Structure 1
Amino acid sequence: MPVGSEELVNQLEKLIYLPMVMTVFAKDREIIAKAGFKLPRPYLELLERADKQVQQELKEVHEIIRKEGVKVVRGKGDELFTEFIFYHQGYEEHRRYLNVRLRNQVEEYVRTYLGVVS
């Protein structure tokens, strides 16, 4: 049985993507701090501000998901796909995502939070 509305699925997918975006920002902050930029502070501040926005949105998503009584668990993965299991009202739905799709979607979120226009 499907998990629910398209909007609920979008929120569940944010539970997948937003932590990945936070990981990208954390790794980028480390790289910038070690890279020897002449003026690293503006870049670090930009990443920090974007990361705080992601954290706030993730907090809001957790509240919505908690109200709906839904849970997302990472399942099996290989070099092509990663599986996520959505639990809702006693049902479970297995969804497989292409790793390339995950990467591309995370990149889009990074662009959005950094204010980069495609």
Structure 2
Amino acid sequence: MTRIPEKDRNMMEQAIYLPMVLTILNRDLVVVNASPFKLKQPYTELIEETMKVIQQELREIKQYMKDRSLAVEQVSHDHAFTGFLFLYKDYQEQHNYFNPRIRNRVQELLSFYLYKRFTSFIAEHTPHP
């Protein structure tokens, strides 16, 4: 049983996932720039602007964690699991994440930041009959 409140644990998990999303977007930006696309600018702008949004959220998460004495560190990694040490005030908890779960969550976040955040915004601000 974890002693870390759900909101704090969610913030700590975001501190794990968002840097991974940024790494993927950086790699994708390199691929787009090296590709034979006729018009690269819309793709590079989408990726760069998405990265800015994620970087801003990551800054806010890190500040939240700093203000509450929270930290997360990767302590192990193998073909199946990645281990993280969650530091919550005076407590330490070891959490192991199944690597496919990490990949799936990063993929969900990538989808959200690239386009789903726009569709949810549109749906919220569109009048319904």
TM-score (normalizing by structure 2):
0.87
**Alpha-carbon shift at residue 3 of structure 1 (Å):** 4.4
Q: Which residue is 1:109 aligned to?
A: 109
* Paired residue secondary structure (2:4): coil
Aligned pair count reads 117
What residue identity is the alignment partner of 2:27? K
1:51 is aligned to 2:51: yes
Q: Which residue is 1:79 aligned to?
A: 79
Q: Which residue is 1:13 aligned to?
A: 13
* Paired residue secondary structure (1:115): helix
Tell me how far apart the structure 1 counterparts of residues 50 and 76 of structure 2 sit (CA, whole Å). Answer: 30
Q: Deviations over 1:50-86 (max 9, x none)?
A: 0000000000101110011011110111000000000
Q: Which residue is 1:35 aligned to?
A: 35
Tell me how far apart the structure 1 counterparts of residues 22 and 3 of structure 2 sit (CA, whole Å). Answer: 26
Tell me how far apart the structure 2 counterparts of residues 77 and 99 of structure 1 sit (CA, whole Å). Answer: 9
**Alpha-carbon shift at residue 89 of structure 1 (Å):** 2.1
RMSD: 1.2
TM-score (normalizing by structure 1):
0.95
- Structure 2: gaps spanning 5 or more residues: 120-129
What residue identity is the alignment partner of 1:109? L
- Structure 1: gaps spanning 5 or more residues: none
What residue identity is the alignment partner of 2:83? E
Q: Deviations over 1:25-61 (max 9, x none)?
A: 0000000000111111100000001000000000010
Contact 1:3 1:87 in 2 (8 A): no
What residue identity is the alignment partner of 1:91? Y
What residue identity is the alignment partner of 1:44? T
**Alpha-carbon shift at residue 94 of structure 1 (Å):** 0.3
* Paired residue secondary structure (2:96): strand
Greater C-alpha radius of gyration: 2
State the percentage of identical aligned residues.
37
Task: Report which structure shows greater RCO (CA 8 Å, sep ≥6).
Answer: 1
List structure 1 runs of 4+ shifted beyond 3 angstroms: none
